[in-house]
Structure 1
Amino acid sequence: MKLVIAEYLRTLKERDELDRLLPDLLVEMGYVTVARPQTGNRQYGVDIAARGKNPETGIDELLLLVVKQGDIGRPEWDGNSQAVYQSINDIFHVYLKSHLEPQDQSRSIRIVVATSGELKQTVQPSWSGFVTDNQAKAIIEFWGADAIATLIEKHLLDEHIFHDEDRRDLRRALALSGDSEYDRRDLHRLFMRTLDLNNKGQLIDKPKTGKALLKALRIVNLSAQAFAHWTLGDDGDTRQGLLAVERAMLWSWHRIQLADEKNRKDAIAEPFNMIWWGYYRFASQYFARIQPHCFVENSLTRYTSNGVESSLIAFEQIGILASIALFLGFHPIATEEEKNYWSCNANVVADALEAWLQNNGVSTSPCLDRHSQDITLAMFALIGMGRAEAAKKWLRKLFRNVDYAYKAKKFVPIATDSLDDMVEEGGWLGGQASDRMLEMSWMLATIAGWSVILGMDELYEMLAKNAKDDYPNVCIQLWHPEKDLYQHLYFRQAHFKSGVAEAPIQLPPLAEDYRKQMDIIRQSEFGKVILESPATKAGLIALDLIAHRHFSTPVAPVFWYSLMGTSI
């Protein structure tokens, strides 16, 4: 297990990733963190400060961490103003003289250089001499990847929380992380055991509380991050990594909602904040890999064997790109500078999404009815980032192809998730779709609703006419969640456990009449459901949207109906 953790630590590409892991480790070692890493503020050599008793010696000490990334060679040792040698001297000459609190004056001082790499042999003599020369001032140690891995295994993944079966499941998940067909079941078992959840999302007897719950959340995060980083290898599948960190984030949030108020606040303040940032970091890495493909025609779909496979790939990427854009666009902000930062990043992702739609013709031919969720998220992202014209252009093409599919009974977005159904009855590989595949449609209702929202009344009225004249037996429908939505949304597909269907929807001939129907629903009890979202109340709106896509739960119509009447 130590080898697994050490390898994970070595894959951390950014120093701030280690910055965020180490405070959790120190807490489990019994320390109280005094100062955490801060970007932009001069820290005089100290990245993390903590006080407490040394778990090995029992001595009361002030622990000062100098965090670096990668191996420490000659340049990293004394090559510039940010080098290790300079950082430790800053601690001696400035920090210990001017930054010590009165309660720390009598404490033993221990300085640790922590890195995700190793101390190279070329630096060993200089390091040893420096440690010896300054032993009267402080105890100086080096924690490389192996040392940190040992501490994580001992203090964070101890046998009382992280059992042998958890270790086996994590190893098995890591071994299969490069398989695009792997369903991550081993990782999911580990998550559920650690979070005290059964397969219905309910708490088992005697669930963890207090520090044990916080520790469990940290373990879930560490396991997900280790798995995700494994997928960044040359033979890995980063899509698997993204889905893993999403599941860890969603199930952790679900578990937090089952705790009492105090435990809930503590969990959100520390471990869930780490999970949230972990998702952001990995989503950024995923986007960096997918972004170049968005600007090349059919870059990921050109090698597929048929239209079904192309459509599945195209709409999965549409949903993922939209989720990331919305995560960035809805991110909590405290200053104008933060607003500009998140908005700028959201627009970069929206640029890629728009390019993906332009460069992949199959992005107008959904093969599954549930792709309506991906379409809704993408519409939200495009409109929210000021790309209404791109949204309208895409919607016209979607209507053209979906309308043709129902008329011709070919290439129909089927209302099941079975690929066998699609091949045998969907009309995608020859022949016509069966009547069973034409029974119902969320897709048509989604196109109708967005047509009205975007002021495309002519398109809506053409759809209403064709639905009546050319495919009258298709049951057009939508799903409206009820108040118990949030008991299920973050754990599994919610529409099988909550809410009611609006079916069959008889599309009135005029767009204005349908607009009135949508407004009635928006102002009904259904409209109040989205106001009860615990994620929205915590300022984490994007969490709900990620949950909808991740578990293939339809996005509540009242959520996107809210755009009616706005300036688009």
Structure 2
Amino acid sequence: MIPIVREFFRGLRERDELDAIIPELLTAMGMEVLSRPMVGTRQYGSDVAAVGIDDVDGVRKLFLFSIKRGDLNRREWDGDSDQALRQSLNEIRDAYLAGVAPEHRGLPVVVVITVGGIVLENTLPMVNGYMAAETRPGYELRLWTGDTLTMKVVNGALREEVFPAGPRTLLRRAAALVEEPETSVAQFSRLIREVATDDAQEPVARVRTLYLALWILTVWGREAGNLEAPYRASELVVLQSWELLWREIEDDRGRRLSASHAFNEVTALHLRIWGEIYDDKVLPHAGSRHALSFAVWSHEPIDINLALFDTVGRIAMGGLWRLWLDPTSAAASIAVEQPGPELGAIAGALAATVFSNPALFTPATEYQGVDLALALLLLAALPDTRPAAASWVQQLSRATRLGFARRAQYPLRMGDYETLIRQEALRDDDRWLDATSATMIQPLLAAFAWGLGKQDIATEIDAFQKDELAHANFQAWVVNARTEDKLWSVGGLVGSSRGSLVIGDKASELIEALRGEVAGNTAHAQLSAIRLGHWPVLLLACRVNRLPPPPQLWLPLLEDLVARPASKRRFSLRQKRRTIGRSRVRPVLLADVSPNALMLGFFRVATDAPKSAHGGSAG
């Protein structure tokens, strides 16, 4: 365990990483954290401040931490930069202490020089000399290196009674196998279950343990150049944290808001991992024709299809988190006609991804409906990407109808790989009718076609239902009274199906039925994530459990788009928005299907689409 944690600290970066871990470590040690690192404010040398009992002499003291990542060399100790550590320590002595709160002014002060690695040999004598010269009664300097932090974690936050042998073994396995995502995530999932069911700890303490374990896995994944396992693990940790904390978040009062802060830290880490994968590596290539398709590195079209839809769902989920966290969210509603630059960039890259990879015109399984719904939800919520959403709905509708006619490249109700890779085995009448006997994608497309001004497409889907899919059950997933108890834990069936939907001319019957469901379903409004204003948690749970988002989350958007003139449309997913704690490739071409017969028309449409629809040239 010690080598794993030691390498974890050596790999942390200073800003928002090492200085984000230290407060959680101090909290686990029983200290009260007074201040945390902030961007854009002068901190006068102290990155973190805390008050607690000194384990050396048992005296209550004020601890001030000045933090540096990695190894400390001469330049970082006393160089010309304003960020030199010695200068930060001088600012604590000369400036910070003069502004200490009155209730802490009489406490002995311990200034802790904190480095993630070691102090290099040629720097250590200068550090020791400075500490000896500056130490005096009531003012002491200490040095915490990566080894010190490791022992604090192993003997504190991850001590045996908190993190027993079972979870320790699982964390070691997950970290060691981080380059094998399936195996690593399986081990980490077991760790999550063991920690989450440990009733000897308070829920906040369990979440902090999961947070630290996820950080360790993330740093090991970063070092290995593979963040797939940390990303998937982070989704599970967010959901498990919500299940553990939502009752405490609802009851948070006062200054500390410990449950709210713990969940916020978990969410921030999840989005950090998302950013390292998608902001840094995927989205810069979104507009390059087939770039993401070829990056799958598979000669099987179904592999490319599955990977692309999964990528689209992840990109959309990241954008929807950004929408929720947008600074303008304090307002009662959001003018998405003027989204922030980060949110606009993500939505634009998502649109470019769709039109640069035509495999995204042909979903292979109904289980991809959740990724499709998330992407359409984000694209439709922003004005610059609504034309791309409308065009995509049109291509999806017509491509799936053509795929049905050819009995290939149509979304099947089954999601197992063996069936999807051998779709030609389903071409006899009985098997094909069974494989296409239920659909959530078709009513979703009809609803978005209605909301995005493509009523003719909705009418075409209505004719498709009557002429070809009379045997199929058109349905939507909805929340029921038992959903709260099952949704946040991955696996198993949850919720209900609103079945026997009929599209009708221009989707009239479908919209009427969905409006009735939205109005009559009281369980949705009582769901914790909705009641507390954390609706992205529900969307994430839908994505992880492969459930299409319920119509309560997207039908209001579509109704708003239909009701308002295009130039004045506004929409907010924030239903009674509350702050945290209080209210708060190639196209897929399966066997025996001609590329020219199926995709040439769609290639032309994507190539000719206006730049405003997909963020620029797809070439």
Alignment of 1:386-397 (within 5 A): 386=383, 387-397=385-395
Instruction: Quote the residue 1:111 is aligned against.
Output: 111
* 1:243 matched to 2:232: yes
* 1:317 matched to 2:311: yes
CA–CA separation in structure 1 for the residues paired with 2:510 and 2:438: 19
* 1:450 matched to 2:448: yes
Matched residue SS, 1:414: coil
CA–CA separation in structure 2 for the residues paired with 1:260 and 1:451: 38
Deviation per CA, 1:348-394: give whole Å up to 9, x if none: 21122111111111011111101111111001111112211000111
CA–CA separation in structure 2 for the residues paired with 1:306 and 1:29: 52
Instruction: Quote the residue 1:502 is aligned against.
Output: 498
Bigger drift between 54-63 and 445-454 goes to 54-63
Alignment of 1:298-309 (within 5 A): 298-302=290-294, 303-309=297-303
Bigger drift between 226-235 and 441-450 goes to 226-235
Deviation per CA, 1:49-81: give whole Å up to 9, x if none: 112221133233221111222322222112222
Instruction: Quote the residue 2:356 is aligned against.
Output: 359
CA–CA separation in structure 2 for the residues paired with 1:284 and 1:260: 26
Number of residue pairs matched? 550
Q: CA deviation at 1:16?
A: 1.7
Instruction: Quote the residue 2:600 is aligned against.
Output: none
Q: CA deviation at 1:162?
A: 0.3
Contact 1:111–1:140 (Cα < 8 Å) also in 2? yes
Q: CA deviation at 1:320?
A: 0.1
CA–CA separation in structure 2 for the residues paired with 1:88 and 1:391: 54
CA–CA separation in structure 2 for the residues paired with 1:216 and 1:37: 23
Q: CA deviation at 1:253?
A: 0.7
* 1:274 matched to 2:270: no
Instruction: Quote the residue 1:472 is aligned against.
Output: 470
Deviation per CA, 1:430-460: give whole Å up to 9, x if none: 9896332122211212111211121211111
TM-score, normalising length: structure 2: 0.83
Among 215, 220, 226, the alignment partner of 1:225 is 215
* 1:35 matched to 2:55: no
TM-score, normalising length: structure 1: 0.90
The residue type paired with residue 416 of structure 1 is M
Select the structure with the greater relative contact order (CA < 8 A; seq sep ≥ 6). 2
Alignment of 1:402-481 (within 5 A): 402-424=400-422, 426-427=423-424, 434-481=432-479
Contiguous gaps of at least 5 residues in structure 2: 562-568, 570-619
Deviation per CA, 1:121-158: give whole Å up to 9, x if none: 23222212211211226321222222111111111011
Contact 2:182–2:229 (Cα < 8 Å) also in 1? no
Matched residue SS, 2:299: coil
* 1:73 matched to 2:67: no
Matched residue SS, 2:235: helix
Contact 2:475–2:499 (Cα < 8 Å) also in 1? yes
Instruction: Quote the residue 1:202 is aligned against.
Output: none
The residue type paired with residue 533 of structure 2 is G
Q: CA deviation at 1:105?
A: 4.1
CA–CA separation in structure 1 for the residues paired with 2:390 and 2:251: 47
Contact 1:493–1:552 (Cα < 8 Å) also in 2? no
Contiguous gaps of at least 5 residues in structure 1: 198-206
Q: Which runs of 4+ in 1 moved over 4 A?
A: 258-267, 334-342, 428-433
Contact 1:225–1:245 (Cα < 8 Å) also in 2? no
Matched residue SS, 2:182: coil
Contact 2:339–2:382 (Cα < 8 Å) also in 1? no
Q: CA deviation at 1:107?
A: 2.8
* 1:519 matched to 2:511: no
Distance 1:366 1:485, change over 3 A: same
Among 323, 333, 342, the alignment partner of 1:345 is 342
Matched residue SS, 2:325: coil
Bigger drift between 340-349 and 62-71 goes to 340-349
The residue type paired with residue 506 of structure 1 is V
CA–CA separation in structure 1 for the residues paired with 2:237 and 2:329: 29
Among 512, 529, 533, the alignment partner of 1:535 is 529
CA–CA separation in structure 1 for the residues paired with 2:250 and 2:478: 29
Distance 1:181 1:270, change over 3 A: closer
CA–CA separation in structure 1 for the residues paired with 2:93 and 2:131: 13
Bigger drift between 218-227 and 73-82 goes to 73-82
Matched residue SS, 2:95: helix
Matched residue SS, 1:187: helix
Q: CA deviation at 1:18?
A: 1.7
Distance 1:484 1:343, change over 3 A: farther
Q: CA deviation at 1:89?
A: 0.7
Bigger drift between 485-494 and 464-473 goes to 485-494
CA–CA separation in structure 2 for the residues paired with 1:42 and 1:460: 57
Distance 1:226 1:431, change over 3 A: farther
Matched residue SS, 1:57: coil
Distance 1:484 1:161, change over 3 A: same
Bigger drift between 267-276 and 386-395 goes to 267-276
The residue type paired with residue 553 of structure 2 is F
